[in-house]
Structure 1
């Protein structure tokens, strides 16, 4: 996981092909202006999934993992918490190749939040649990963007 202030994202240029594409796009575009739905940035290699969910308690969630895509997540309205698994994993739902995810539970984790213009980049294979209730807020609506960045191993050319 990479976690920090969205305004500092330029510091991570050169780490991943998709991240470089996203950094360039963010220099020219305001992500808060995107409507709910999917928005291509570079075809199926880099795109934005804009969602308007309600945050949920941890007890109602599982960790998700992806094989082909990294997730870079931000909140543009509201705020949420998240967790990243650090312990042993128990499979809850088998990998769905079409949608690139499986679900797992873990016996240990670290936590963060996406308040105050922060971002979190969850790398492919890293179990993460997004859209959790921010401490003390209870269930709240949030407008969030999950930028999907194709892992370098899947890029052609």
Structure 2
């Protein structure tokens, strides 16, 4: 990690993150989330995409604790930002795309919006497409789950929606 002013805050975030990851205590998750936001607000954040991705995981945990859909929406936004920063690393971008696909599948289970399901499938496919050849098999499970869900919902072998790129003009992460 860098030696800038955010370094102490970043170290506190990682300590809180590790505690929250192994705790069922909502207060420890909330503390780690607050520290994650503070780290991202600092201008000299080292490992920004890793902090974003980890914060996304914490927000997903908070969603499961509270049922508040806004936490899940924010998780998708944070991990999407991490994905956008990972353009030079196919392995990292595949991992983030995979996580976005899982988050969106979770969101679909709550909101039942077919566009959300289509986005989950698209992100899961993106993970497979962007993964290095030696890692592709690892990412094949999520498209299968999304396709199975799509078939269960639509009773159609042609999944809902078009490609994520075709829908990119909508500028939505999740419908409210």
The structure with the larger Rg is 2
Q: TM-score with structure 2 length normalisation?
A: 0.25
Identify the structure with bigger relative contact order (alpha carbons < 8 Å, sequence gap 6+).
1
- The structure with the largest helix share of the pair is 2
Structure with greater strand percent: 1
With the length of structure 1 as denominator, give the TM-score of the two structures: 0.27
